[in-house]
Amino acid sequence: MKWSVVNRKTLFKGFFQLSELKITHQLFAGGESPLLRRELLEKGDAVALLPYDPVRDELVLVEQFRIGALDDLSGPWLIEIIAGYQEPHESPESVAVREAMEETGCHIAQLQFVQRYYSTPGGSSERIHLYFGFTDTSAVGGVHGLEEEGEDIKVRVVSSKTAFEWLDKGKIDSAIPTIALQWFRLHREEIRRKWSGDSETRSQTDEV
């Protein structure tokens, strides 16, 4: 299947970029589409991380103001997981570790890759690199974030049971934490067996 970008124009460029594209593409039934006009929100790649303490069976979540939920009846503060955008010189793993420290003060001893996926490909180029991380939650908490980026992030350390209850009741209602927690629910027992081993194994970064 082939496609052609006939014209591409930048409509707005700020923290994100909005572009207008005129394209054609081949059709499944044969032939070619008419000239289509599409807007594309160009956001780049983001990295998300769900930290977990297998000894305490606790997860590290974050709560912060989100402009996209401004009109939500329950308010624009959402419970999510650690996330941030990847700079050109950074690996996804380094972003995960950096964002964990900036947003929660949380040290990540081991990373496990979960998956890459497009968040909303109908109108955005954003791709998420999702990770799961081993940590010690005994000293994690408080309010964090970079002042220069206007971040005001409340750390919530909760049991797996509480996190699953919040998910099932709709208290957690955005895509990234939903995908991360559903993955964790499927793999929780396996993870607890694997990460409750010796400290030497848990101190190494492991991408699988």
CB distance 102 to 82 below 8 Å: no
Q: Rounded mean pLDDT of 23-28?
A: 98
pTM for the full model?
0.90
Domain limits of the chain? 3-42, 45-202
Residue among 58, 87, 93, 149 flagged as catalytic? 149
What per-residue confidence (pLDDT) applies to 148?
84
Fold classification of 45-202 (topology level): Nucleoside Triphosphate Pyrophosphohydrolase (3.90.79)
Per-residue pLDDT of 89-146, as tens digits, reads 999 999 999 999 999 999 999 999 999 999 999 999 999 999 999 999 999 999 998 8
- State percent of the chain over pLDDT 70: 94
Confidence category of residue 194, pLDDT binned at 50, 70, 90 = confident
Q: Is 90 a catalytic residue?
A: no
Phi, psi of 61 (to 5 degrees): -115, 165
Per-residue pLDDT of 74-90, as tens digits, reads 999 999 999 999 999 99
